[in-house]
Chains A and B, each alone.
Chain A
Amino acid sequence: AQKVTQAQTEISVVEKEDVTLDCVYETRDTTYYLFWYKQPPSGELVFLIRRNSFDEQNEISGRYSWNFQKSTSSFNFTITASQVVDSAVYFCALSEANFGNEKLTFGTGTRLTIIP
């Protein structure tokens, strides 16, 4: 069975600090997909990134970067120079290669608060 663990329930940092959100996953499949979603205080879920299990290259998008390490089953998310607008709940999710069911297994989320 697949499982996603986000051990950090809540994190608070002062604005402009860097912060890393941890995500550890479990799956028996060799082909799988990992996602990060952001849920701001307004409540919607915003897609941030999708990564497949064959692509271990780190990715950077502006102040956001993702570190995917299959050896440790981790897909961590770093925000550089954090801003107040980054305050949100962040979810890591896993999807196995199971055509016909795009089921996402979510972690329990990390609530990030950026203190001005």
Chain B
Amino acid sequence: NAGVTQTPKFQVLKTGQSMTLQCAQDMNHEYMSWYRQDPGMGLRLIHYSVGAGITDQGEVPNGYNVSRSTTEDFPLRLLSAAPSQTSVYFCASSYMNPGLAGGQTQYFGPGTRLLVL
């Protein structure tokens, strides 16, 4: 059981380049999400998904796209990288218990460190 995996671990991009951060989980979790971590700001939600085919925006979605074609995978796409997107990106997943409104424990991947020059 690998849990939540993310690739790559580290990436350097030039301004304007595009790339996809990969996230996969093998726990059959319905809910998956992407956060970015910046110094002094904690973690902020970018996008989330409650199941295959369903995605929605979080707190800081601009400049990022997501899709969820399978339960296991939730890739994050940077369409045209900017220096402001230099950050550490975390993917997380959790169950969604239909009998419980929110509050599920989220399990995080190891993170992807992105540097945009």
Q: Are A98 and B102 in contact (CB under 8 A)?
A: yes
Instruction: Indicate the member of A93, A98, A102, A104 with the most B CB atoms within 10 Å.
Output: A102
What A residues does B48 contact at CB under 8 A? 101-103
Residue B61 interfacial (CB < 8 Å)? no
Compute how far the CA of A93 lies from the CA of B94 in the bound complex, rounded to whole angstroms: 15
Proximity string of chain A (86-116) to chain B, C-beta cutoff 8 Å, 1 when within and 0 when not: 0000010101111111111011110000000
Compute how far the CA of A102 lies from the CA of B107 in the bound complex, rounded to whole angstroms: 12
* Residues of chain B having any CB pair with chain A under 8 Å: 31, 33, 35, 40-45, 48, 50, 56, 58-59, 88, 90, 92, 94, 96, 101-111, 113
> Pick the contact of A103 from B45, B101, B108, B111 — CB < 8 Å?
B45
What B residues does A32 contact at CB under 8 A? 103
Residue A64 interfacial (CB < 8 Å)? no
Q: Are A43 and B102 in contact (CB under 8 A)?
A: no
Q: Are B94 and A102 in contact (CB under 8 A)?
A: yes
Between A and B, how many residue pairs show CB distances below 8 Å?
A: 76
Q: Are B111 and A95 in contact (CB under 8 A)?
A: no
Q: Are B105 and A35 in contact (CB under 8 A)?
A: yes
Q: Are B31 and A108 in contact (CB under 8 A)?
A: no
Residue A50 interfacial (CB < 8 Å)? yes
Q: What are 20 of the A-B contact pairs (CB < 8 Å)?
A: A4-B42, A31-B102, A31-B103, A33-B103, A44-B111, A45-B90, A45-B108, A47-B107, A91-B43, A96-B102, A99-B101, A100-B50, A101-B56, A102-B31, A104-B45, A106-B42, A106-B43, A106-B44, A108-B40, A108-B42
Query: For the side of the interface on A, what is the size category?
Result: 20 to 34
Known: A102-B33, A104-B45. A31 touches B104 (CB 8 A): no
Q: Are A109 and B102 in contact (CB under 8 A)?
A: no
What A residues does B40 contact at CB under 8 A? 108
Q: Are B102 and A102 in contact (CB under 8 A)?
A: yes
If A44-B110, A47-B106, A103-B45 are given as contacts, then 20 extra A-B residue pairs at C-beta distance below 8 Å, sorted by A number, are A31-B102, A32-B103, A44-B108, A47-B105, A47-B107, A47-B108, A50-B105, A93-B43, A97-B102, A99-B96, A99-B101, A99-B102, A101-B48, A101-B50, A103-B33, A104-B43, A104-B45, A107-B42, A108-B40, A108-B41
